[in-house]
Amino acid sequence: MERLFTIKEAMEILNLSYTTVYGMCNNATLPSVKVGGSIRIPQESLRNFILNNTKGGL
């Protein structure tokens, strides 16, 4: 089973604010799922977001 990250974990990985990551999940920039009342971000969504938004060098 694929790992699911909380918004807090995703914000630390992406080095963004909670509000920014929450907004990205809300507008589907960062695909997520709702589990109960909590938003979870699949590992593959994070990977794809990073790969699709990486510009230049390493």
User: How does pLDDT run across 34-57, given as a tens digit for each residue?
Assistant: 999 999 999 999 999 999 998 876
Q: Which residues contact 51 (CB under 8 A, 6 or more apart)?
A: none
User: How does pLDDT run across 2-40, given as a tens digit for each residue?
Assistant: 899 999 999 999 999 999 999 999 999 999 999 999 999
Task: Please tell me the chain's helix, strand, coil percentages from 3-state DSSP, rounded to the nearest 5.
Answer: 45, 15, 35
What's the whole-model pTM score?
Answer: 0.88
Domains of the chain and CATH, by start: 4-52 (1.10.10)
